Amino acid sequence: MKALIFIAHGSKKELSNNEFKSMVENIRSKDKKYDFIESSFLEIALPSIEDSTKKLIEKGVKEISFYPFFLNSGKHVAIDIPNIIKKLQKQYPNISFSPLEHFGKSRYIEDIILKDIS
């Protein structure tokens, strides 16, 4: 079984966190590739990346991909998230962890913006 964990920064504002969770739920309902899709937060909000990972492993998942929902490749994308994934790999050596490119690297963003402003 394989899973995908979306990672957002996390906010003190519950509305922001709920918008992200709702987006992930919508993706989950339409996706055909993954057995499980979960949301997680780097900081401030829950569930944490570690909690979402543990939940999936307890369900028997052996492959987990991580999708950082960040626009730019700042410290969180370049350092913090990779460090968390490295720690998880040490903690769960029999699980395959795969970081995906962050949202801002998507080749479709410019098309979305062009549609929004047209």
Catalytic residues: 9
- Record the tokens describing residue 89, joined without a space: 């790999």
- Record the tokens describing residue 46, joined without a space: 């829950």
Distance CA 35, CA 31 (A): 9
| Closest to 61 (Cα-Cα) out of 44, 38, 77 | 38
Distance CA 20, CA 8 (A): 7
Angle at alpha carbon of residue 100, lines to 5 and 60, rounded to 5°: 40
